[in-house]
Structure formats: structure tokens, C-alpha cells
């Protein structure tokens, strides 16, 4: 399968041509995803497809018909080689949807490419024809010798490899035997920060935690002003402040935490993953009760990773964790939705801003890191500080991703925790599965911390002002 993409910036269209060879059936069903992993909402990408056509090798039109909302059935009889063409409308300002302007193109694969039904494991190449004013292509895909042509071993990798094309500033560097590209749409102020140096420290901190680097090369796609980011195995695509003129150190730390979050996802969700999250069914929602691990633990690990890298200090760590605790404990939703349920129901709530949300729901982005911190503390307490949540993450990576080449089940996760801690984490599981009130004081005391409910640093209006303060902490270990 070979794709050829060209662009109409003025009308905001991507022109797609797909060459298929060696077809064995008399009809071929092509399917386009309706969602993107990590972005838990049905986006119905096929709504942007227009002018679908199919031809035999002599250019004669072939009969085709739709199969559901995201399937195209091409009838080609005994013809083994087929060319398909269509256009994709691209005008969304999103990390999961296509955008084409006079200056650039951003191409998440899910919204452009089609695969043969039941055959996502086929290799595929993509060639890009660029307007004269565009100079660079940034992606985690492997570049082939042919100019502007890239290769993916299968469609899961192709869909997981966004492409940014335009006149972005490129910085290439090698770190610990791997190649990296930094692609910045709006680089103003970049020279004021030792950003590449801090990226290297962060990467080394993650590598030390897991003990392995699963990719050959990695691309940081840092777009202009906007909101949101999306993780990928060999890259990340993130909006920025639109500038690197950070007015405060906290603003810089916050941005680095964001980049760290998306980077650590290459471990925690792309390789360390619930069993439901791959191989993917791109035709419908995929439900899992374990996003509190995939997302919540990743939020938590932003802080230990940067702390160990020497980029943030202990006070910053505690202040950020205090803010998360206040956010959860200051809302009534904690009494109505468990952390496990918040994971499973994300397909209902990803962009659900109903007025009753704070009173009836919680987010695994908020309570998940709290459980990550408390579980880290509890495992250390049970093992006299010889083991930690790091050992759980390493065990999941090496046992399930590296050895078994699959994700873990819910019960397997809790079993690994029990093996690391030497006993089951029954209270932690109750905090995940129910709305039971958390005994913060007990776990804080284990870590040489205390809860100060009189410290008025509330970030949530009407909140009680819960905060963590340090006495003699484990944070440096």
C-alpha cells in the first residue's frame, strides 16, 4: 500500500491517492478510523472525506459503495491493482484533527489514511508533495531514501505518527544513542532557555526509571498557541504558549511538565498499557477501567521525573500535589464517582462541561495522581523504602510489553502491585473502586509529611485549603 499526499492550502484540502497492489479478492473494504487513541471521543473522521473514486490500472472507474459510516467497498473483480483517490477537508485547530493553511499542514494519520479491513498489519509508505513555500517535514516515521517518502511497518504505527509540514524551526540532537528532532512553529524566545538541555535531563530521568528506550528516533512537534497535546510512540504533538518568552520560572516548569507528561506516555500507555488499549478497534469506542493508571500516574510522574532531573525542587513538587488534592477534595463529585468509574465513563465525559459536573464527577487526571503518590508512599512503607511505584512500572513494562507483547488486565495490575509490595494493596484498591474518603494524614505521616488544613492556599473557590508540608521527606530518593 502506497499513499501520495498533496495539498490545497487555499481551500484547506489534503488530496490523497492510494495505490493498492496484489489484491486477491474481488472486492476490497477500506476503513478509516472514527477516533484517535489518547483522545477519547468519537470524531467521525470520515465526515471530512469528499470525492472518493477508484480506478483500475488503465484509469477506468470502478464501482464502489459505502459500508457503514467509515467503510468504502471497492468492487474490482479480477483486477489485482487499484488506485483510490479522495480529498480530506482540513480546518480543525486540534492535536487530533487535520489542519491545512497557507503556512502549514498538520496531519494526524487517523483522519487521512484508510486501511484494508482486518489487515492493519500491512506495511505502508507515504509520499508528500509540498507546495513550493513549505520546506520541512517533521514526524517520527522512518524517512526512506526517496525524497519526502516515509515508511511504517503497519497501520497502528502510521496512525500513531502525526506529520507537521511547513517552515518550522528544526533542532536535531543525539542523546544516549538516539536521534531527536525538535520542530517549533513559533520559536521566539527559545534561545533564552536551556530547553534542549532540560529535555535531555528529562529523557535521562525517564530512561533511568524504566531502564529501556523503545524507539530509534523521537520527534517533539511543538505547534503554535493553543491548548492540548497528544502522545505517540515515536513523537508528541503539542500546542504551546505561542512563545518561549516565559515570564516566570513556574510558567517554564509548567510547560516542561506538560512536555514530560506526553513523553512519559510513550511508556505509560503506549508500552505499559491496559490490555484493552491495543491492538485497537478504530471503528468504535474502546472501554477500559484503568485510565487512572495510564493518565493519572502519568500526571503524578511529571513531578518525580523532573525532580530527579534537577529541574524542579521539593517545594514545587509539594505545592503541585497540594493543588491537586485541593482540587479533588474541594468538589462534591468525589462522593458520587469512583476513580475506576471515571476511567470507564470517559467516553461520556471527555468534553462534557455540564453545569453539574463538579458536583457529580471526578477526573482521573486529578484523583489519579493522588493515588499514584499514596501508592508510592505505601509501597515504600511496606518495604522499608526498598521498593516503590517505580518497581511496579518497571515490572509492567518488562513483563507485559517486552516479554508478552501485550497489555495487562486489571487483576494482573493489582497482582504486580502485591508482588512488589509483598502484600495486597487492599486499601488503595478501595480508594480506586469506591468513593471512600482518603486517610491523607496516615499516608502523609509515612512519608514524613503532614496535612495542614489551616494553610489557606486554596486554588478552588470554597475549598478547605488542604495542603502537604514537608518535614523529612522521601522526595529525594
Q: Taking the domains of the chain in order of start, what are their residue ranges?
A: 2-167, 171-470
pLDDT of res. 468: 52
468 and 325 in contact (C-beta within 8 Å)?
yes
pLDDT of res. 192: 76
**CATH of the domain spanning 2-167:** 2.60.40.3650
User: Using CA atoms, how far apart are residues 270 and 143, in angstroms rounded to an integer?
Assistant: 22
What stretches in the chain show pLDDT beneath 50? 455-467, 469-477
Domains 2-167 and 171-470 share a fold: no
Of 340, 355, 317, the closest CA to residue 413 belongs to 340
Write the burial class of residue 30 (CB in 10 Å: 0-12 exposed, 13-18 middle, 19+ buried): buried
**CB burial readout 128-148, b (16+ within 10 A) else e:** bebbeebeebbbbbbeeeeee
Question: H or E segment at 342?
Answer: helix 339-344
Q: In which order are the strands placed within the sheet that holds 235-240?
A: 169-175, 178-184, 217-225, 235-240, 229-231
Q: Which residues contact 51 (CB under 8 A, 6 or more apart)?
A: 85, 86, 87
Chain-centre distance for alpha carbon 157: 14
Where are the alpha helices (H) located in 162-215, listed in sequence order? 195-210
pTM listed for this prediction:
0.94
Of 100, 110, 109, 211, the closest CA to residue 165 belongs to 100
Q: Grid coordinates standing for 229? A: 497535546
User: Using CA atoms, how far apart are residues 218 and 446, in angstroms rounded to an integer?
Assistant: 39
Instruction: Give the number of other CB atoms < 10 A from CB of residue 459.
Output: 12
pLDDT of res. 378: 98
pLDDT of res. 461: 32
Instruction: Give the number of other CB atoms < 10 A from CB of residue 341.
Output: 19
User: Using CA atoms, how far apart are residues 12 and 3, in angstroms rounded to an integer?
Assistant: 19
Q: Give backbone dihedrals phi and psi of 56, rounded to 5 degrees, phi first.
A: -85, 180
Domain 171-470: top CATH class: mainly alpha
Amino acid at each position: 500500500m502506497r499513499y501520495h499526499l498533496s495539498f490545497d492550502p487555499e481551500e484547506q484540502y489534503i488530496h490523497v491517492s492510494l495505490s493498492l497492489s496484489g489484491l486477491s479478492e474481488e472486492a476490497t473494504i477500506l476503513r478509516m478510523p472514527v477516533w484517535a487513541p489518547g483522545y477519547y471521543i468519537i470524531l467521525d473522521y470520515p465526515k471530512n472525506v469528499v470525492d472518493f473514486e477508484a480506478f483500475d490500472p488503465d484509469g477506468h472507474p470502478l464501482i464502489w459503495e459505502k459500508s457503514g459510516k467509515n467503510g468504502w467497498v471497492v468492487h474490482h473483480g479480477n483486477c489485482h491493482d487499484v488506485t483510490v483517490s479522495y480529498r480530506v477537508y482540513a480546518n480543525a485547530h486540534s492535536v487530533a484533527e487535520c489542519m491545512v493553511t497557507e503556512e502549514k499542514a498538520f496531519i494526524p494519520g487517523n483522519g487521512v489514511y484508510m486501511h484494508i479491513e482486518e489487515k492493519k498489519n500491512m506495511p505502508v509508505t507515504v509520499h508528500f508533495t509540498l507546495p513550493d513555500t513549505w520546506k520541512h517535514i517533521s514526524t517520527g516515521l522512518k524517512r526512506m531514501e526517496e525524497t519526502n517518502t516515509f515508511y511504517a511497518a503497519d497501520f497502528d504505527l502510521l496512525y500513531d505518527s502525526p506529520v507537521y509540514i511547513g517552515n518550522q524551526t528544526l533542532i536535531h540532537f543525539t542523546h544516549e544513542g538516539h536521534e531527536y528532532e525538535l520542530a517549533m512553529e513559533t520559536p521566539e524566545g527559545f534561545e533564552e532557555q536551556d530547553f534542549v538541555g532540560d529535555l535531555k535531563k528529562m529523557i535521562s530521568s525517564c530512561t533511568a526509571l524504566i531502564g529501556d528506550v523503545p524507539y530509534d528516533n523521537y520527534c517533539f512537534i511543538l505547534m503554535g498557541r493553543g491548548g492540548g497535546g497528544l502522545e505517540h510512540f515515536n513523537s508528541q504533538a503539542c500546542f504551546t504558549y505561542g512563545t518561549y518568552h516565559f515570564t516566570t520560572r513556574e510558567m517554564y516548569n509548567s510547560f516542561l511538565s506538560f512536555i514530560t507528561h506526553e513523553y512519559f506516555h510513550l511508556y505509560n500507555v503506549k508500552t505499559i498499557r491496559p490490555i484493552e488499549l491495543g491492538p485497537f478497534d478504530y471503528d468504535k469506542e474502546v472501554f477500559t477501567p484503568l485510565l487512572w493508571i495510564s493518565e493519572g500516574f502519568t500526571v503524578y510522574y511529571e513531578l518525580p521525573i523532573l525532580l530527579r532531573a534537577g529541574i524542579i525542587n521539593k517545594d514545587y513538587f509539594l505545592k503541585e500535589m497540594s493543588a491537586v488534592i485541593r482540587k479533588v477534595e474541594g468538589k462534591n463529585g468525589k462522593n458520587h464517582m469512583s476513580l475506576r468509574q471515571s476511567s470507564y465513563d470517559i467516553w461520556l465525559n471527555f468534553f462534557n462541561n455540564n453545569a453539574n459536573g463538579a458536583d457529580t464527577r471526578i477526573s482521573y487526571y486529578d484523583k489519579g495522581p493522588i493515588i499514584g503518590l499514596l501508592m508510592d508512599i505505601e509501597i515504600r512503607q511496606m518495604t522499608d523504602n526498598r521498593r516503590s511505584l517505580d518497581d511496579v512500572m518497571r515490572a509492567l513494562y518488562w513483563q507485559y510489553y517486552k516479554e508478552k507483547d501485550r497489555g495487562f488486565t486489571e487483576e494482573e495490575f493489582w497482582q504486580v502491585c502485591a508482588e512488589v509490595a509483598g502484600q495486597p494493596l487492599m486499601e488503595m484498591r478501595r480508594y480506586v473502586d469506591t468513593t471512600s474518603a482518603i486517610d491523607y494524614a496516615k499516608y502523609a505521616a509515612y512519608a514524613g509529611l503532614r496535612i495542614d488544613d489551616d494553610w489557606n492556599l486554596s486554588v478552588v473557590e470554597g475549598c478547605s485549603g488542604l495542603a502537604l508540608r514537608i518535614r523529612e521527606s522521601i522526595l529525594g530518593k
